[in-house]
Structure 1
Amino acid sequence: MPDPAPAALAFLQTRRSRPAKTLGLPVPDRAALRPLLEIALRCPDHSKLEPWRLVVLERAALLRLAALVEGCGARLDKIEAEIAKQRAQFAEAHLAVAVIASPRPSDKVPAVEQADSAACVAYGLLMAALAAGWGANWLTGWAAHDAGFAQQALGIADHERIVGFVHIGAQTATPPERPRPDTDERTTWMDA
């Protein structure tokens, strides 16, 4: 028989990301962040390849990334509004964790499954931060998908990619609930 965890189920049923622009100080220090990182790394990982890594971005690092956005945006012919929005993601943040997909050579585990594992790390970190009472949000943005930015900003290797930036901080506002998917529309039941 199942052994339910009602508190965990209630949390999962009501969890809500907090917009990154509403996250403020304080942010978790290293001692408070470490257990959240450990929780995130308890993710599905076929063959124990650990095809991911984390880069913790503190304030000075985030400001450095914000400064890199201008040149990247110009190179990609982004309009000023797009550049400003991407710059703000880093310039207004106090703490973010970059989740990096770093696939390993494997005859058993395809690269797509390794990328899925890295996405689970990002989601696990988001959930752990929220469960710990912090505000958190998983963002990417166009700069995250640019190899030049990724290499310059985070030292990403050619075989790696940024899965996302999980922003973590004090909740300064609670966003309204948003419409959720219709389970019946998104689910197919097969009994044979």
Structure 2
Amino acid sequence: MQEAVLEFLSKRHSTPISALAAPGPDEDQLQLMLKLAARVPDHGRLTPWRFIIYRGDARKKVGQLLADRLEQLEGPLTEARKEQELKRFDRAPLVVGVVSSPVEHPRIPEWEMFLSAGAAAMNLCHAANAMGFASNWITNWYANEEEGRRLLGVAPHERVAGFVHIGTSQTVVPERPRADMEAKVSEYQGPWNE
């Protein structure tokens, strides 16, 4: 069992959103994915995150809202740019917004709550992949723009940890170069010195 888990983790990758297609998860599969996604470190058991489900016609509505908002920000869009925005949430059969929804607490900092939301997004990707689906976790311009977040159902005090696009892969994703671990791992040598 441990070897299978290690093998699974060693092959983790993101599938390009353009390669995600139907079928997506059914309702029971989605509920299981979300339940597994919620099994994350959560200092104080605050559950400082939530999920927003974008599927069916909601994906097209979101695309239109985003295209309209981007035109307000940048002026008239080219047809290609407008089409890109219209299809933002319509490329995969399911998109799950993972939202950091901090809870006031006298000792637990907000950044820890944001990390918990990020862990939920990663768990969601793992759960989707373990169930045979492909996924891609992104943010994009609308995650960092106040009105964009509002249009996507995110409250003013919340921030987007990511949008996880889930579907069935239509391609084999080639392995990409990974981090040079020797350059990324060090033994503690004492306080940081310039």
TM over 0.5: yes
* C-alpha deviation, 1:82, in angstroms: 5.5
Aligned to 1:90: 89
- Where structure 1 has 5 or more consecutive residues not aligned to the other structure, the ranges are none
Q: Partners in 1 of 2:30 and 2:112 — Cα distance?
A: 27
Residues 42-85 of structure 1 deviation map (CA, whole Å, 9 limit, x = unaligned): 00100000000001111211111101111211222276465544
Q: Kindly indicate which of the two structures has a greater share of residues assigned to helix.
A: 1
Q: Equivalent pairs: percent with the same residue? A: 34
Structure 1 counterpart of 2:142, which letter? A
- Whether 1:30 and 2:35 are equivalent positions in the alignment is no
Q: Which runs of 4+ in 1 moved over 2 A?
A: 78-89
Q: Which amino acid aligns with 1:135?
A: A
Shift of 1:94: 1.6
- Counterpart of 2:186, as a letter, is T
Q: Is the 8 A contact 1:96 1:167 kept in 2?
A: yes
| Equivalence for 2:71 | 74
Q: Which digits, 9 at most, give the CA deviation of each residue in 1:6-60, with x for residues without a partner?
A: 1111111111111111111111111111111111000010000000000111121
CA distance in 2, matches of 1:85, 1:123: 26
Whether the 8 Å CA contact 1:62–1:90 is kept in 2: the answer is yes
> What's the counterpart of residue 161 of structure 1?
159
Residues in 2 aligned to 1:109 and 1:83: alpha-carbon distance in whole angstroms: 42
Deviation, 1:191, is 6.8
User: 2:183 maps to what in 1?
Assistant: 185
AA partner of residue 68 (structure 1): L
Q: How many residues align?
A: 188
| Structure 1 match to 2:54 | 57
What letter corresponds to residue 113 of structure 1 in structure 2? E
The CA distance in 2 between the partners of 1:102 and 1:122, in whole Å, is 13
SS at match of 2:51: strand
Deviation at 1:96, TM superposition (A): 0.7
Q: What is the SS of the residue equivalent to 2:164? A: strand
1:7-156 equivalent positions in 2, closer than 5 A: 7-77=4-74, 80=78, 84-154=83-153, 156=154
Superposed CA RMSD in Å reads: 1.7
Distance 2:117 2:49 in 1: 5
Q: For residues 58 and 133 of structure 2, what CA distance do their matches in structure 1 show?
A: 21
**TM-score of the aligned structures, taking structure 2 as reference length:** 0.90
What is the CA–CA distance in structure 2 between the aligned matches of 1:126 and 1:100, rounded to whole Å? 15
- Residues 1:83 and 1:106: Cα distance change in structure 2 (over 3 Å): farther
* Rounded Cα–Cα distance in structure 1 between residues aligned with 2:81 and 2:109: 34
Structure 2: distance between partners of 1:94 and 1:174: 19
Which stretches in structure 2 are left out of the alignment for 5+ residues? none
> What is the TM-score of this pair, normalised by structure 1?
0.91
